[in-house]
Structure 1
Amino acid sequence: MIDLTVDSGSDILIPGMVARNRAVHGDLVVIEIIAKSDWLSPSGNIHEPSVEIGDGDKIKTPKTNTSSILPTGKVVGILQRNWREYVACFSQDEETGRGDKKAGKVLVIPWDYRIPKIRISTRQIDSLQDHRILVRIDSWEVDSMYPNGHFVRSLGKIGDLETEVASILVENDLRVPPFSEAQLKELPIDTEQYPWKMTDEEIECRRDLRESHLIFSIDPKGCEDVDDTLSVRRLSNGNLELGVHIADVTYFVRPGSLTDIEAQNRSTTVYLADRRYDMLPAVLSSNLCSLISGVDRYAVSVIWELTSDYEVINTWYGRTVIRSQYKLFYELAQAVHDGIVDAEIVRNIPELHNLWGEELEIRLNELKDSIDMLMMVARGLKTRRVASGALELESVEVQVQLSETKSVENLNPKQSLEIHDTIAECMIFANHWVAKKITETFPNKALLRHHPLPKDEQFGNLRSCAASLGFKINTNSNKQLAESLDLCVDDNDPVVNKLLRSLATQAMSNAAYFCTGCLARDQFFHYGLALDVYTHFTSPIRRYADVIVHRQLLAAVGNKHEVKSKLPTSTHLDEISQHINKKHRSSQYAQRESQELFQCLYFRGRGTEDENCIVDAVIFQLRDNGVFTFIPRYGIKGPVYLRNKDGLVVHISNEDDIEWTGGDLIKHDTYVEVNSILGQQKYHLLQHITVKLSLQDSWAHASSLRLELYSNKPQRKEQDSMNDVAKQQKASMIEEVSMEAVEKRLQLESYDLGDNFTSLKQQYGQSTNSMYTLFEELKENS
């Protein structure tokens, strides 16, 4: 080995298949750093995905910029193979799929570009030619260019929605089989014949809030697994009382039970674009643990007494019995707060349906007062936290409503952002105070969530974009970053601030769970939220980390059901946290890929002159052969080439005619300059251009969208905010594609839709639940 005192935090460039030395993505390897004089720079070009895969040294690049040279090395040993099942398919090209077909030997192409072709033995080539299949690697001989493997099973025909979704799950190592009979037998029964009931003995052990507190929930439309409810009231001494009441999952899921083991293995509910896969069986997630209105439920509560300036003077933690009085969605709660009270509002609050006259007015005023007070408290809490440096970052949330019932639409032009922030702030407050309690009680084995400091070099693109409009980004602290982002406002272009916040999100380090006994105390902080300690407590129905935290909190306050000795040790908790982190990342990747799948299916078959395919885009990154753009209408990011594969550069005439001609492309700090024989043109950061969207189909891999330059002028038909338009368009995409997939499947099976459309959608894998990512994750998944 050559000792070059390389920073352990630095990336190491491994250029090409030879240097990888039969290592496969995911393997644990030993790397030798080569002589410094031979180090390489990553390419500054935009690359097609295929140039990154493994049949040659295609990613090897010359040393073009000494400031971007990376330590370069080669694999000299493989400590641990981490082979798994891979999604693959047979090649359409006889030459590419060369092999001895008489002997059943053939090369298959993995879905993942990073995995080399795999030689398998099978005699089912003809029947599976148009299928995605699962294969496993068995060995990789020293003198062989490709690893050997075997066929496992077929996932279905290429292009079918269910096949592509299954591929996404497999590639992200997400196993979501139906819950077993043994697991379901552990759970309570709740049917009309055998209804589940609370016991008097259990109620006596809890604080009963059913009559004393007005408790309600506010969630996205279509949400069935209601984790959290809230209460707020003014006390007789003039102080405020805020309560956060969370589903008591740990009452039903005991440590070491089959349900607990399965929940730990899954670690999270997986939300895809059109469906979800629950961490817990439906009898818990959608029923007994869900804090639906009008029903008595067990909860774990945190209740604070606050002064008029929102100082905490008393905190109570413990198990409770609650009865939520209202189940609201964001738009509805915002409308009530704004004083929009009419028949449409009442129609969307089932709890008010049987009330009339004065009684109805009293209940509505009572609800409005609670929402108003809650929003006032949340604003106060947020002001205190932002003063400490909390970041307001940007993310595009996709919310899909597939219910066939009518609902309140567009009640508020703010799209209920204030309500989102209110609920998020209350959840953040609860998570912070629970983290303080369990850390004080279990200093070496509490489960917390850490958001480390971002690397300064990650802010390069953000600084460049801001500088292009004369703004300056200060990244010396989270407070200074937040303050500088607040100043990056272009009155003529509302997209600018949102896009800069999105770039700030990309620059962040990843938040992760950890055991307090395995990290230095000064590293416990959460950078993005500006908190010294933080955890996840508010969503135990969909996150296993919260289940652990509930057990730790209840043990900390001396609850009789929780024995401290039964909590995981520091070493065990560290292993669990690493597993949860892995599953959480996999779930995020799968969610993103499923959204991209629906985007591709939506654009399939659309002509390039379709008005949905000609859209406005904003340049946010410059490369040596093009630019990266963001499309506000769809929330899509992608490359636009200014130099093609033949080396020609783009030129646009005054009539917006595009020509590819000889010339040079020069990248500067804030713009790309195109010098062709027809003249000079520039493309600046944060410049609006018009792009044409088309589908780039792939047989072996995931299809993608191609963005092509249509005009160097903006096309800004929409004046709505970036997030709102993206949400609406993505929701429309997903609903349209889902309906088409169901209809196609039904036609193939010769079914008659009749009056059973909803049940048939469920039969064929189409969930009626909305895909949503709770607001607090948007603030901390940076």
Structure 2
Amino acid sequence: MRATAEHIVNRWSDIQRPVFVRAFSTQPTIADPPSPGKIATTFEPWWSAEDIEAGLEAGTVRYGRLHVPAFETGQASVELDADDDGRRVRVKVPGFMARNRAVHGDRVAVRLMWKAYKRDDSGSDGTGEDEASVGQVEDARARVVAVVRRSEVPVVGVARPGETKIQPRDQRLPAMDLIHPFSQVEEGAHLVACEIVDWDETSVNPKCKMVVIIGRELEFLRASKECYLDASVYHLGPVGSGVAEHRAIMERYGLTSQEYSEDIEGALRERLPSSEAVVEEVLRGNGPRRWDLRKSHRVISIDPPTARDLDDALSVEVRPGGRLRIGVHVADVSHFVPAHSHLDKEAARRSTTVYMPHKTYPMLPRHLSENLCSLLPGEDRLAFSVFFTLDRATGCLCGDDPIAFGKSIIRSSARLSYAEVDAAMARGPSEIPQIDPKVMADVELLWDVAAKRNLSRTDDTIR
């Protein structure tokens, strides 16, 4: 029989009692007494799918994702899924027990509990306990009633011989019981990535299994009496080595280390062989016209010397009245990546290019990020451009000169590094004689107005 909204309300009344017992050895409990010094904990049972569905219909239950701040692990909140109006609300989950075995990143169902604004017949405001809509929340709180899906990010921690617990490196996560602990014959510590497999109502800590063994794997496999058929093995070196720590970081934050396949790269090279072909196609097309800035604007990029994806650049024009017209130009990736396409979804999943000490993992295929969408000197590129005017003497924005946004075609005149610019500004343009003097003059203008603008910000803060 399908649960009703009335059933949910009645059920809520039935459980207005402590949902856990916390006791030391001197205090009796309903359950078996704990061993001396041990805390006994009983979490609320997770709700059934039927109860959750009834709560959703009644408006007392919502889905969302649990968030625990990295430096305030005693606090937690859930960002609820957007409602019909597209609003997103974050509600507090007060206390460890209210999390009910959910950890950071889990998708959860929460029972809403809050004080809401109410208006009486006379029109004056009053406050009382009520089943309010999210938009009426004054002090939004909730408790977790079920974990719908565990976070996909592995738990990275250190396992030691003879110990049954894993202490995650992410301090937002609790210590975990390893279901297959290392044998005593093991030596040294091992970096491992684990996933939660169980967390019963009477346990303070979840149970986990290893899915990746990161450090000293060959010694581990030779000596261990246990069988880790589910674990992937990477022979990366001992705990603390650069390669092992690199892998641990990738696992801990759920970062992808996979390159785009050669099939994808090859298809892009075949369809988009060169920037010249792309620009010609744009100029011949019937779409919105682009500003052609290739001859009218001297565009400069400034990046780390090893950067290969140069995705932004600057230009500057001297205007009458002591003004500078600044241009910011960003590679137009959207021209090459159709909305909602497979590539768009994969780039969204990766979110950003990941820069590690020894390797870069790109958000986009390299033919785009390092070629067609990289603002290389002397190459025609599609861009988004924004222009604004600053007062040269103060660095303040000139409000009477409108800000302009538009799609453009640009051609970078120079690629500089931060170190080159710092050296030139500190010791003079002669530090980089290979750079066109006109480019260096533009850099000096940009440097000077940026310094003025920073000073004006500081002055505003002081005042």
Alignment partner, residue 294 of structure 1: 378
Q: 3-state DSSP class of the match of 2:156? A: strand
| Contact 1:119 1:146 (C-alpha < 8 Å) held by counterparts | no
Are positions 1:161 and 2:242 aligned together?
A: yes
Q: Secondary structure at the match of 2:432?
A: helix
339 and 75 in structure 1: CA distance in 2 versus 1, 3 angstrom threshold = closer
Match of 2:177 in 1: 118
What is the alpha-carbon distance in structure 2 between the residues aligned to residue 225 and residue 275 of structure 1?
A: 14
Q: In the alignment, which residue of structure 2 is the partner of 1:263?
A: 347
User: CA offsets per residue over residues 518-558 of structure 1, 9 Å max, x none?
Assistant: xxxxxxxxxxxxxxxxxxxxxxxxxxxxxxxxxxxxxxxxx
Separation in structure 2 between the aligned mates of residue 254 and residue 186 of structure 1, nearest angstrom:
15
Does the CA contact (< 8 Å) of 2:274 and 2:372 recur in 1? no
Call closer, same or farther: CA 1:315–1:110 in 2, change over 3 Å.
closer
| Alpha-carbon spacing, 1:321–1:129, altered in 2? closer, same or farther (3 Å) | same
Specify the code of the residue in structure 2 equivalent to 1:250. S
1:248 aligns with 2:317: no
**For residues 327 and 163 of structure 1, what CA distance do their matches in structure 2 show?**
35
Asked if residue 82 in structure 1 is aligned to residue 127 in structure 2, the reply is no
Larger relative contact order (Cα-Cα within 8 Å, sequence gap ≥ 6): 1
Bigger CA radius of gyration: 2
Equivalent position amino acid for 1:370 in 2 = D
| 1:334-388 deviation line (CA, Å, top 9, x unaligned) | 444456244x522xx4xx5xxxxxxxxxx42x2332222223333454455555x
Matched letter for residue 252 of structure 1 = F
1:316 aligns with 2:414: no
2:170 and 2:112 map into 1 onto residues whose CA distance is 26
Q: How does 1:7-406 map to 2 (within 5 A)?
A: 22-26=101-105, 77-78=145-146, 80=148, 82-84=150-152, 85-88=154-157, 90-93=159-162, 96-97=163-164, 110-112=168-170, 114-120=173-179, 131-144=190-203, 146-157=205-216, 158-159=238-239, 160-181=241-262, 183-185=264-266, 187-189=268-270, 195-198=274-277, 199-203=279-283, 205-235=289-319, 239-305=323-389, 310-312=397-399, 313-337=401-425, 340-342=428-430, 345-346=432-433, 349=434, 352=435, 363-364=436-437, 366-382=438-454, 385-386=457-458, 389=460
SS class of match (1:333): helix
C-alpha change, 1:338 and 1:23, in structure 2 (3 Å) is closer
Question: Offset at 1:141?
Answer: 2.7
- Taking the aligned partners of 1:75 and 1:307, their CA distance within structure 2 comes to 54
Change in 2 beyond 3 A, CA 1:12/1:127: closer
Q: Is the 8 A contact 1:206 1:321 kept in 2?
A: yes
Provide Cα deviations, 1:118-169, integer angstroms capped at 9, x if missing partner: 3435999989996433332222233456534444343342424222222122
Report deviation, 1:211: 1.6
| Distance of 2:318 and 2:261 partners within structure 1 | 47
**Residue of structure 1 equivalent to 2:45:** none
Structure 2 residue ranges without an equivalent (≥5): 1-15, 18-68, 77-92, 114-140, 217-237
TM-score normalized with structure 1 length:
0.35
Q: CA deviation at 1:291?
A: 1.0
Tell me the distance in 2 between the aligned counterparts of 1:131 and 1:378.
Answer: 49
Deviations 1:693-728 (A, max 9, x none): xxxxxxxxxxxxxxxxxxxxxxxxxxxxxxxxxxxx
Cα displacement string for residues 651-704 of structure 1 (whole angstroms, at most 9, x for unaligned residues): xxxxxxxxxxxxxxxxxxxxxxxxxxxxxxxxxxxxxxxxxxxxxxxxxxxxxx
Contact 1:186–1:259 (8 Å) recurs in 2: no
Q: Is the 8 A contact 1:122 1:151 kept in 2?
A: no
**Secondary structure in structure 2 of the residue aligned to 1:166:** helix
CA drift of 1:222 comes to: 2.5
Distance change in 2, residues 1:132/1:126 (3 Å):
farther
- CA distance in structure 2 between the aligned counterparts of 1:268 and 1:22, rounded to whole angstroms: 31
In the TM superposition, residue 328 of structure 1 has moved relative to its aligned partner by 1.2
CA distance in 2, matches of 1:369, 1:112: 48
- Alpha-carbon distance between aligned partners in 1 of 2:404 and 2:333, rounded to the nearest angstrom: 19
The 1:384/1:133 distance shift into structure 2, 3 A limit, reads closer
Distance 2:275 2:209 in 1: 49
* SS class of match (1:92): coil
Q: Deviations over 1:286-309 (max 9, x none)?
A: 222111212222211112355666
- What residue number does 1:673 align with? none
| Residue 60 of structure 2: aligned partner | none
| Distance (whole Å) between structure 2 residues aligned to residue 166 and residue 299 of structure 1 | 35
Question: In proportion to residue count, which structure has more helix?
Answer: 1
Q: Distance in 1 between matches of 2:432 and 2:281?
A: 40
| C-alpha distance in structure 1 between counterparts of 2:298 and 2:407, whole Å | 17
Superposition map of 1:343-742 within 5 A = 345-346=432-433, 349=434, 352=435, 363-364=436-437, 366-382=438-454, 385-386=457-458, 389=460, 479=461, 482=462
Give the whole-Å Cα distance in 2 for the aligned partners of 1:383 and 1:216: 24
The one-letter amino acid of 2:211's match is V
Separation of aligned partners in 2, 1:251 and 1:338: 40
Tell me the distance in 1 between the aligned counterparts of 2:349 and 2:247.
18
For residues 383 and 108 of structure 1, the distance between their equivalents in structure 2, rounded to whole angstroms, comes to: 50
Q: Give the total of aligned pairs.
A: 317
Over 3 Å counting, the alpha-carbon distance change for 1:156 and 1:181 in structure 2 is farther
What amino acid is the match of 1:184? E
Q: Is 1:189–1:195's contact at 8 Å kept on the other side of the alignment?
A: no
Cα 1:368–1:116 change in 2 (3 A) is closer
Give the deviation of 1:283 after TM superposition: 1.7
Q: Distance in 1 between matches of 2:98 and 2:388?
A: 59
Residues 184 and 145 of structure 1, relative CA distance in 2, 3 Å threshold: same
Shift of residue 176 of structure 1?
A: 3.3
Deviations 1:632-660 (A, max 9, x none): xxxxxxxxxxxxxxxxxxxxxxxxxxxxx
TM superposition score normalised by structure 2: 0.56
Structure 1 portions without partners, runs of 5+? 3-8, 34-72, 98-106, 353-362, 390-478, 484-782
- Given the superposition, is the C-alpha separation of residues 123 and 183 from structure 1 closer, same or farther in structure 2, using an over 3 Å criterion? farther
Cα separation, 2, equivalents of 1:128 and 1:250: 52
Tell me if the contact between 1:128 and 1:154 (Cα under 8 Å) persists in the aligned partners.
Answer: no
Cα shift at 1:243:
1.3
Instruction: Identify if the C-alpha distance between structure 1 residues 125 and 289 changes in structure 2 by more than 3 Å, giving closer, same or farther.
Output: farther
Separation of aligned partners in 2, 1:328 and 1:87:
39
Amino acid at match of 1:86: V
Distance change (3 Å), C-alpha of 1:375 and 1:32: closer
Cα displacement (A) at 1:261: 0.9
Relative to its length, the structure with more strand (as a share) is: 2
CA distance in 2: counterparts of 1:248 and 1:32, whole angstroms: 43
1:332 aligned partner, one-letter code? E
Tell me the amino acid that sits aligned with residue 320 of structure 1: S
- Residues of 1 paired with 2:322 and 2:144: CA distance? 70
How far the C-alpha of 1:327 sits from its partner, in A, is 1.0
Relative to structure 1, the CA distance from residue 149 to residue 234 in structure 2 (aligned partners, 3 Å threshold; closer, same or farther) is closer
Q: Contact (CA 8 Å) 2:176, 2:207: kept in 1 or not?
A: no
The DSSP-based 3-state class of the residue aligned with 1:325 is strand
* In 2, Cα distance between equivalents of 1:299 and 1:32: 46
